[in-house]
Structure formats: C-alpha cells, structure tokens
Amino acid sequence: MEGKLPIGVGSDGLAEAERSEVRAPAQNEQALGRREMNVAVLKTKAEQGLSESYAAIADELPGGDGVRDVRERAIGRFESLGLPHRRIEAWKYTDLRNLLKEALPPDVGDETPVTEADVAAALGPLARIAADRAVFVNGAYRPELSQLASLKDILGSPLSAALDDKSDKAAADLLRLDGRDDDAVLALNTAYVTDGAVVAIAKKAKLRKPLLLVYLRAGAEPHLVATRNVVSVGDGAEATIIEAYVSVPGAAEIGQHNTATEIAVGEGASVTHIKCTADAGRVTHLANWLVELGAKSDYRGFQFTSGVGLARNQLSLTFKGEGANLDLSGAFLARETQHVDTTLTVDHAVPGCTSRELFKGVLEDHARGIFQGKVIVRPHAQKSDGKQMAQVLMLSPEAEFDSKPELEIFADDVVCGHGSTSVDLDEDLLFYCRSRGIPEAEARALLIESFIGEALQKVECEDVREALTVLARRWLDEAAAAKRA
C-alpha cells in the first residue's frame, strides 16, 4: 500500500501530490487505513471562496425547491471537481486553477443605475444595429432599457422569472445539463446563475430583426456574474441572435462573468448566432455554447473577442438530424498579457452533415491565444464532411499561440480535414505599401485588417459585420497608440 502527503497547492497552481508521491514505511494495515482516511484536499483561495459565496447567497437566488436542489447538486459537483487545471487535457493551455486567483463576490439583485446613454456608450458601434434588444446589467434583466416591442413570433421571458414559475419541475429543467457532470465551469454556472433570456421561436416564424442580448458590466465594485440563455428555434423558423458582452465606461477594472447559451435548432430552421465580447480591463470571461442541430437545419455561428484579460470560449455542437449544415467562425484580438482560448467540439452523430470552422487571431506583446478544435465522426455518420482551419498573425516574438486540431473518425465514407498556421506580417507587402506612400503604422493596420477580414466576411448581416470591423479597427488604433507611448 502507498500513502500520500496531504494535498496542497504549490506556487504553479498544481497540487503538490500531483508532482510527488511519498511511500509510507512499513506499518500495519489498520494504521495505514487511518492515515488514508485523514488525507485532506486543500482548495485554492478561489475554490474555497466560490463554495463559501454560494452558501452565503443561496437563499437569494431565484427558484423554488426543485431549482434549489439542482443548484445544490451543481455546487457539490464543483466542490468535487475543483477548478480545471492543466492536467485536464481540454484545459491544458488554460490552467484556470492557477490563473483564477480569487473569487469575486457574486452580484444578486443588482440595482446599479444605468441610462440608455450608458448602454449606447457601452455598445459602441453595436448600438447602431437595427435589432430588438434585451438588456441585462450585472446579470439582472432591465426592462426599462430593453426594446422588444416588434417581436410577435417569439415567446420569451427573463430566466429569473422562469425559474420562479409555479411549475417547479419545468423551472428546474431549465438548469439541468444532462451528460455534462464533468464540467466544473458549467457546474458553477448552474449554481450561481441569476438571469438570462428564455426564448422560444415559433415554428416557421421569420424574425424581422435580430434579437440582441446585451450583458453590461457596471458600477465601481467588482463582481462575479453568472447568466444563461435557453433558446429553442421551431421547425422551419429563421432567426438572428446576437450576444454582446460589454462594460459601461467607468465600470470596475476587474470582473468575472460565467455565461452559457443553449440553442436547439429545429428541423429545416436557419439560425445566425453571433457573440461579441468586447469588454475592457482585467476581466475573466468564461463562456459555453451548447448547440443541437435538427435535420436539414442551417446554423451559422460567429465569435468576436477583444479587450478581455482572460477569455475561454467553449463550444459544443452536435448534429441531431441528417442533412444539417454548420458554419462556425471567429476572430480574436489580444495584446499585453491577455489570454484568449477557443475550444470547440463538433459532433457528427448522424450521417450526411457538413461542418466548416474558420478562426483567425491577432496576437501582440505577451498575449497568448489557444485554439483547440475537435471533430468527431460517429460510426454510423457516413457521408460526413468536415473541414477546420485556425490561423494566427503574430505581431511580437513574445506572443504565444497553441493550436491543437483533432479528428476522431469512426466511419469510412467521410471527407474531413484540418489545418493550423501562425505567421508574422509579410515584410514584402509592408515594403510595397510603404513604397506607395502609405505610412508604416497605417500599412500594418491595413494588412492586419485584411488578415482577419476573411473571418469577418463570414458575418452575413451587413450592419453587424460593419460594427465588428469598427471594433477591430479601434483595437488596432489602441495597439498602435500603445506602441507610440
């Protein structure tokens, strides 16, 4: 038999017992048994804080007994798993146990004053998008800031109201995530979630405007916020859904947001789903997309990330019906010590489906980018067609890009491929631009914009594409100004 030292956390965030093992001297079986019973797992400061904070606010969270039971099991699961660390393969490059130093106090029942002018300032170019808008401030729905008058073919409500519904079982079902018990971040989301959007789009409905879900950080005090969107799109319906995660000018420099979006796409439905994370400051943004595609459906997803201290965008997309199409793309921009992780799984669980993924990033200074993309083709998913590409522009020798594309193919009649590249600016092209009288800073910006433009062109909504392009240009301008300083 072997005995282990009590588990403690070292300076690199890994448990000491993971690095070394001490063999116990010969002892009788009973003594060894007592020693093993006394092994204590020491939690990090953040892990302990998350458990204690939940206990303190559990009675204030929305929902009845059924919802409370789901939350209790979720926080118990988190306490069992702990924060993800680099020994977990999917978190190899984003050691959250080491990166998350403390748990911020959760925000429940927020009443921070925010005006429509504040919303417009936070959204920036996104404010010009012609859309129906639902606004959440620090995780709480604000009807006075929302504009939903033109929605006729949609049945929706804030998640907080749905969780307090008289049908406790139906409310509890909104938080259940069957088969995902191994995800500590989702477990935290389930335990802490305060609000979000519950949307049901009717069969064959065609939304005239996009639905814009705005999540604002506001106020001088840093907080932990947890939100969730639950969306179902009826058979044959057409909809565009946009998520925007931004901050009001003057908001706290530090923040933590744990968000999840579930989307069930009906048979023959067409959905465009866009997420823009353009926060500022040392913010930790942990996000999950959980998407299920029905037969002959069409799903186009896009993610734009910039200005966030630490972002982890985790996407899980599953084909549930034959003949569906998936086009997933994104662009991320990071500088200084920012850390952006895109981890996705595309599951071809049925035959005859097509998937395409294209992600582009720009890294400067000591920024770090991660792309992990796994395509799974199940044994009976013949005629699957999947292609994946990740490309990053490195503007500094100190920047780091970690890429891990994966294919798991268990069928034989498929067409699948993946690729990944990292490059720096083409000096010949830069010289060509300068020889035509274009200043170096402007030439660099043009080449960078051209690089990520291929991904941005995937956004078919013209006003949304223009808004994201403006945000990308602002990032480039800020990066250039920082260099001059």
Structure confidence by residue, pLDDT tens digits, 119-147: 999 999 999 999 999 999 999 999 999 98
- Per-residue pLDDT tens digits for 142-177: 999 998 766 666 767 899 999 987 677 888 999 988
Residue 415 domain flag: yes
In a domain, 346, yes or no: yes
Looking at residue 58, the DSSP 8-state letter turns out to be G
Q: Are residues 253 and 346 in the same domain?
A: yes
Is residue 391 situated within a structural domain?
Answer: yes
Residues listed for the chain: 485
Instruction: State the residue for tokens 């600016």.
Output: 425
Q: Is residue 134 part of a domain?
A: yes
Per the CB < 8 A criterion, the answer to whether 48 and 56 are in contact is no
| pLDDT given at position 3 | 35
Q: pLDDT at residue 26 above 80?
A: no
pLDDT in tens, 28-76: 444 444 444 444 457 899 999 999 999 999 999 999 999 999 999 999 9
**Where does a domain end: 393, 425, 457?**
425
DSSP 321: S
| Residue 421: how many other CB atoms lie within 10 Å | 11
Last residue within a domain, chosen from 42, 58, 73: 42
Secondary structure letter of residue 148 according to DSSP? -
First to last CA, the chain: 61
Which range marks the domain in which residue 22 is found? Answer: 1-42
Residue found by looking up tokens 């069969």 in the block: 203
Instruction: Kindly state the tokens that stand for 228.
Output: 């969730």
Q: How distant is the alpha carbon of residue 382 from its chain centre?
A: 30
Whether residue 33 is found in the same domain as residue 122: no
Alpha-carbon distance of 330 to 292, in angstroms, equals: 19
Same domain, 141 and 18: no
| 263 within some domain | yes
Least confident of 98-102, 150-154, 248-252: 150-154
Q: Are residues 166 and 267 in the same domain?
A: yes
Q: What is the pLDDT of residue 31?
A: 45
CA nearest neighbour of 73 among 176, 161, 149? 176
Which of 425, 443, 466 terminates a domain? The answer is 425
* Same domain as 123, residue 37: no
Q: Are residues 283 and 417 in the same domain?
A: yes
pLDDT of residue 279: 85
- 6 pLDDT higher than 60: no
Inside any domain, residue 480: no
pLDDT in tens, 378-404: 999 999 999 999 999 999 999 999 999
Q: 252 lies in a domain? A: yes
Residue 25 has pLDDT above 50, yes or no: no
Closest CA to 306 of 354, 245, 260: 245
pLDDT of residue 15: 40
Q: What is the pLDDT of residues 402-460, one digit of tens each?
A: 999 999 999 999 999 999 998 888 888 888 888 888 888 788 888 888 899 999 999 99
Spatial distance between the Cα atoms of 140 and 81, rounded to a whole number of angstroms: 28
DSSP 236: T
Specify whether 404 is located in the same domain as 258: yes
The two counts, helices (H) then strands (E), for the chain are 12, 19
Residues 22, 157: one domain?
no
DSSP helix/strand/coil, 307: coil
What is the rounded average pLDDT for all residues in the chain?
88
Q: What are the angstrom distances between the C-alpha of 466 and each of 127, 425, 456, 463? A: 12, 24, 9, 5
Which of the residue ranges 29-38, 275-284, 328-337 would you say has the lowest mean pLDDT?
Answer: 29-38
Backbone angles phi, psi at 186, to 5 degrees: -65, -35
Phi–psi pair at 94, nearest 5 degrees: -130, 85
Residue 354 lies in a domain: yes
What is the SS3 assignment for the chain?
Answer: CCCCCCECECCCCCEHHHHCCCCCCCCCHHHHHHHHHCCCECCCHHHHHHHHHHHHHHHHCCCCHHHHHHHHHHHHHHHHHCCCCCCCHHHCCCCHHHHCCCCCCECCCCCCCCCHHHHHHHHHHHHHCCCEEEEEECCEECHHHCECCCCCCEEEEEHHHHHCCCCHHHHHHCCCCCCCCCCHHHHHHHHHCCECEEEEECCCCECCCCEEEEEEECCCCCCEEEEEEEEEECCCCEEEEEEEEEECCCCCCEEEEEEEEEEEECCCCEEEEEEEECCCCEEEEEEEEEEEECCCCEEEEEEEEECCCEEEEEEEEEECCCCCEEEEEEEEEECCCCEEEEEEEEEECCCCCEEEEEEEEEECCCCEEEEEEEEEECCCCCCCEEEEEEEEEECCCCCEEEEEEEEEECCCCCEEEEEEEEECCCHHHHHHHHHCCCCHHHHHHHHHHHHHHHHHCCCCCHHHHHHHHHHHHHHHHHHHHHHHC
Q: How many domains does the chain have?
A: 2
> What digits encode the pLDDT tens for the residues 48-57?
999 999 999 9
Cα 171 from chain centre: 24
Alpha carbon distances (Å) from 476 to 309, 367, 444, 449: 17, 14, 9, 8
